[in-house]
Amino acid sequence: MATENKNLSAYDKATIPNAKDFRFGIVVSEWNSEITEGMFNGAMDALIDCGALKENIIRWNVPGSFELTFGCKKMIASAKFDAIIAIGSVIQGETKHFDFVCSATAQGIKDLNLHFDTPVIFCVLTDNTMQQARERSGGKHGNKGAEAAIAAIKMADLGNA
């Protein structure tokens, strides 16, 4: 397993650009809210820890992970952001729905990165069980939201270089 014995939220603050001058958008799926709220909190904590100002972080909610692409696209069109984080959680069920949602969401976020100049960070957990999702949204493997926030800061810095 790729995350075994790894803490996803570990970062060396000395190697992260200061985020005080950046504006971030966060689009959060309401589906599996226990997980997405944990990742949102991890992202917020990391952004603030790295200098981002609370008033420069805008949150929008969408119903599910499939809707993240549209939410991010509308956010890009609404105002100037240095980076946007798409937060979602899809947990394997008994049908192929999981495969379709995961694939479409990943492709949609990829397409946004190709078509717009605002980096969109993929922070969507695609786990087999709720327990795996808990372990990656503030549990024993840290918090994928914090990892996405660090990626957002680095990409915002790259975009402003």
* Residue-level pLDDT at 1: 41
Which positions are catalytic?
97
Homologous superfamily (CATH) for 33-159: Lumazine/riboflavin synthase (3.40.50.960)
CA distances to 6, 11, 27, 137 from 118, rounded to whole Å, are 29, 23, 14, 25
If you average pLDDT over residues 109-138, what whole number do you get?
Answer: 95
pTM of the entire predicted model? 0.93
Q: Are 143 and 38 in contact (CB under 8 A)?
A: yes
| 59-98 pLDDT per residue, tens | 999 999 999 999 999 999 999 999 999 999 999 877 778 8
- At residue 15, the 3 state secondary structure works out as helix
pLDDT, residue 94, reads 77
